[in-house]
């Protein structure tokens, strides 16, 4: 049986102010075309459908169009909510959509209720595990503690219990939205850490024939049976040079590992990202940079002094200069000009930022007791935001 695995559409997201709706529309068209051309038996969408819990009208319209396209394929679609989605909002109308072959799994109570697919070689049970916020689902799932490891373990234990009731030879697929140990993230993903820990081990998924993961934006395997499809579009300059793809899975009978193939997206569907580094005058005059005049640029200026109005001058040659930083080349790294606020925060977690704030204001870092209180406050704030998104 053949599946097409994708995730992290982030409908409605902008890239440094640039509207991505048209690019995302082309991506959804390509996903549906690929599913049809490759004659897949089901489409798997592993979360973060929207970029925000309350998406823009353009994003909702695009998702509605996508739902119709998926229903028109005549093949089942199984889709879960991610940490960017409001599970309740995304799940509205799920019972009606299921009649059209689009199966939304946004409620943790339904993780052990599979979509059963019948093929010439037997039955495949497809289970959807939406993003599980530990503090919100621990009680319902009867998890041992409020951690990603614990709630995913409880959800997968329920799935394995259901799977044991199925006829012998029934194969299994699980969709999940999580950070699994051994994977590599990037700055465009939202932090999901609890108590400073955001990982769950791959062993949580033992016994499952294929695990279709979402959350991380780079396509990558965890092992033969567990894969991230990655996002179909780049959402930060850290993804410059990434080749975005869709993941095709051929599930075999018996214990054989699935065959996984990455289908690279056509070049014209990938964002034209590039990085430039150098002195402003060189960047403005060097003919070698002519091919980048229409690229979306992250520019690092190396002039000793910050040039006058650098962004305005760069945009005269490179109209899509979207991000600019100044790192003088002649000055050692430790003596560079004071970094901007955004530069100081880039790639750092909430706990690190609050630690630095207290250290700067007070002159001494937080002690162990204060560290625990800060972590508790950060976790509580994130959970509170999740609770608001579900109303």
Q: Hey, what are 78's tokens?
A: 């199984």
- pLDDT tier at 357, thresholds 50, 70, 90: low
Q: Mean pLDDT for the chain?
A: 88
**What's the CA gap between 210 and 208, in Å, rounded?**
6
CA distances from 305 to 280, 301, 308, 326, 327 (A): 11, 10, 9, 9, 9
Cα 257 to its chain centre, rounded Å, is 25
- Min mean pLDDT across 85-94, 215-224, 342-351 is at 342-351
Using left for φ > 0, alpha for ψ between -120 and 50, and beta otherwise, residue 147 falls in: beta
Confidence category of residue 363, pLDDT binned at 50, 70, 90: very low
Is pLDDT above 60 for 220? yes
Under a CB-based contact definition with an 8 Å cutoff, are residues 6 and 35 in contact? no
3-class secondary structure, 364: coil
Q: Please determine, for residue 163, whether its predicted confidence score (pLDDT) is greater than 60.
A: yes
Cα–Cα distance measured from residue 286 to residue 307, given in angstroms and rounded to the nearest whole number = 17
pLDDT band at 270 (very low <50, low <70, confident <90, very high): very high
* pTM, to two decimals: 0.84
Residue 275: strand pairing partners = 298
CA distance 208 to 170: 11
Residues 6+ apart with CB under 8 A from 101: 70, 71, 73, 74, 75, 76, 77
Quickly count: other Cβ atoms within 10 Å of residue 56's Cβ: 17
Provide the pLDDT for residue 185: 78
Residue 242's pLDDT is: 87
Where are the alpha helices (H) located in the chain, listed in sequence order? 21-37, 57-72, 87-90, 94-99, 134-141, 148-164, 280-285, 310-317, 341-345, 350-362, 368-390
Confidence of residue 184 (pLDDT cuts 50, 70, 90): confident
3-class DSSP assignment, residue 186? coil
Q: Does residue 336 or residue 245 have the better pLDDT?
A: 245
Rounded average pLDDT over 181-208:
79
3-state secondary structure of 236: coil
**Higher pLDDT among residues 94 and 331, named by residue:** 94
pLDDT band (50, 70, 90) for residue 335: very low
pLDDT band at 254, cuts 50/70/90?
A: confident
pLDDT of amino acid 355:
63
Helical (H) or strand (E) element with 106: none
Q: What percent of the chain has pLDDT over 90?
A: 75
Q: Which of 170-179, 294-303, 349-358, 380-389 has the lowest mean pLDDT?
A: 380-389
Checking DSSP bridges between strand 171-177 and strand 102-105, what pairing results, if any? Answer: unpaired
Q: Which has the closest alpha carbon to 384: 92, 48, 135?
A: 135
Query: The tokens of 371 are what?
Result: 């560290």
Q: Report DSSP letters for 116-185, one per residue.
A: EEEETTEEEEEEEE----HHHHHHHHT-SSSSHHHHHHHHHHHHHHHHHTSPTT-EEEEEEESEETT---
With a cut of 80, say whether residue 356 has pLDDT above it: no
Higher pLDDT residue, 119 or 38?
A: 38
pLDDT at site 336: 47
CB-side neighbour CA atoms (13 Å) of 110? 19
Weakest-pLDDT range from 14-18, 30-34, 276-280, 330-334: 330-334
Overall average pLDDT of the 106-135 stretch: 94
- Indicate the Cα dihedral angle 1, 79, 380, 358, nearest 10°: 80
Q: Which residue has the higher pLDDT, 304 or 368?
A: 304
- 378 or 250, higher pLDDT: 250
């Amino acid at each position: 049986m053949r599946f097409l695995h994708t995730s992290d559409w982030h409908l409605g997201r902008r890239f440094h102010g640039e509207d991505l709706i048209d690019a995302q529309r082309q991506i959804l068209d390509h996903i549906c075309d690929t599913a049809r051309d490759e004659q897949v038996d089901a489409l798997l969408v592993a979360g973060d459908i929207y970029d925000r819990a309350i998406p823009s009208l353009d994003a909702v319209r695009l998702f509605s169009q996508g739902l119709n396209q998926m229903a028109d394929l005549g093949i089942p679609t199984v889709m879960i909510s991610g940490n960017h989605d409001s599970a309740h909002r995304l799940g509205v109308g799920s019972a009606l959509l299921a009649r059209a072959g689009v199966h939304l799994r946004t409620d943790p109570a339904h993780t052990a209720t599979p979509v059963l697919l019948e093929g010439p070689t037997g039955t495949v049970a497809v289970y959807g595990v939406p993003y599980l916020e530990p503090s919100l689902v621990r009680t319902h799932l009867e998890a041992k503690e409020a951690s990603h490891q614990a709630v995913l373990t409880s959800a997968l234990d329920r799935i394995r219990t259901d799977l044991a009731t199925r006829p012998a030879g029934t194969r299994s697929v699980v969709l999940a939205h999580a950070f699994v140990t051994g994977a590599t993230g990037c700055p465009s993903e939202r932090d999901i850490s609890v108590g400073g820990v955001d990982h769950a081990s791959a062993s949580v998924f033992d016994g499952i024939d294929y695990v279709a993961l979402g959350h991380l934006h780079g396509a990558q395997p965890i092992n033969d049976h567990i894969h991230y499809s990655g996002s179909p579009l780049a959402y930060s300059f850290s993804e410059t040079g990434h080749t975005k793809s869709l993941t095709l899975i051929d599930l075999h009978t018996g214990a054989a590992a699935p065959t996984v193939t990455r289908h690279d997206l056509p070049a014209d569907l990938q964002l034209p990202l590039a990085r430039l580094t150098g002195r402003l005058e060189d960047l403005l005059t060097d003919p070698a940079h002519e091919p980048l005049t229409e690229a979306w640029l992250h520019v690092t200026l190396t002039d000793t002094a910050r040039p006058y109005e650098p962004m305005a001058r760069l945009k005269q040659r490179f109209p899509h200069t979207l991000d600019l930083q100044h790192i003088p080349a002649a000055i050692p790294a430790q003596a560079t000009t004071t970094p901007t606020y955004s530069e100081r925060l880039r790639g750092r977690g909430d706990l690190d930022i609050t630690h630095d704030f207290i250290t700067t204001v007070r002159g001494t870092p937080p002690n162990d007791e204060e560290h625990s209180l800060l972590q508790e406050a950060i976790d509580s704030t994130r959970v509170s935001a999740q609770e608001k998104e579900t109303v």
